[in-house]
Amino acid sequence: MSHFIMIAIDGPSASGKGTLAHRLAEQFHLFYLDTGALYRCVAKYILDHALNPDDHTAAERAAHYIHDHLNLEMLMDPALRTQEVADATSRCSRFPSMRKILLDLQRNFAHHPPHSAGSKPWMGSILDGRDIGTVVCPEADIKFFVTASLEVRARRRHQELLTRGHAHDFETVFEEMLERDERDKNRSAAPALPADDAVILDSSLMSADDVFEKACDIVRERVL
């Protein structure tokens, strides 16, 4: 590998972008940042402090707190994965002023990731989210946009919630996902859309292994 590589992965909820990011991070020894989890931390702070996710001052206050106190373990908290947090995240993340607070933090992780626990330094970084290729890392070597039909994504999310012991009926999950997609796509600040030069991977047409293999081929072709 000739230089520190940077990969951006964007896409809607339950598209498989997180799974792909994890696998590519492992395969190519890249530092991985799940920026959805970062935004979820902000929403969780809002809910824990009985603030309103539709209030931009609450969103800013929470983003400042997370900006100043974030450690990587916070991103693994299973409490970030509830529907309540997901809904609040989609609400508070639409405010440009709060997104701006998290921007330098994400860019810093992308360019100067924390030291790897092993002895080998990171070969690069990989970030996933909604605006990585368009706003956070427009300079990324490769941009993937992972997508899948709403039906397929809602089924995956429903299954995931059942596995975690959260009882939700499929229709509710479908409706909530539809509503969240619309909000994420149609907001004026950093709408969840592919960059012009993104490679689109439709995971409703391919297995997770096929998506991974295709992405690996592209990484090898373009940056190795």
CA proximity to 60, closest of 89, 86, 97, 104: 97
Residue 40 backbone phi and psi in degrees, to 5: -65, -35
- To ligand DC, the closest distance from the beta carbon of 224 in angstroms equals 26
- The residues of the shown chain that bind ligand DC, judged by CB under 6 A, are 13, 35-36, 39-40, 86, 89-90, 93, 129-131, 180, 184
For ligand DC, the closer of residues 39 and 109 by Cβ is 39
Strand ranges inside 39-157, DSSP E:
124-129, 142-147
| Closer of 189 and 223 to ligand DC (Cβ) | 189
87 in Cβ contact with 180 (< 8 Å) = yes
Question: Residue 218 CB, nearest distance to ligand DC (Å)?
Answer: 21
d(CA 19, CA 9): 11
Minimum Å gap between C-beta 36 and ligand DC is 2
Burial of 130 (0-12, 13-18, 19+ CB in 10 A): buried
Question: Closest CB to ligand DC among 44 and 130?
Answer: 130
Any idea which residue has 């030291």 for tokens? 115
Which residues, 6 or more positions from 71, have their beta carbon under 8 angstroms from its beta carbon?
none
CB of 93 to ligand DC, least distance (A): 4
Min. distance of Cβ 9 from ligand DC in angstroms?
Answer: 10
- Nearer residue to ligand DC within complex by CB, 29 or 204: 204
Closest CB to ligand DC among 35 and 125? 35
Number of Cβ within a 10 Å radius of residue 206? 15
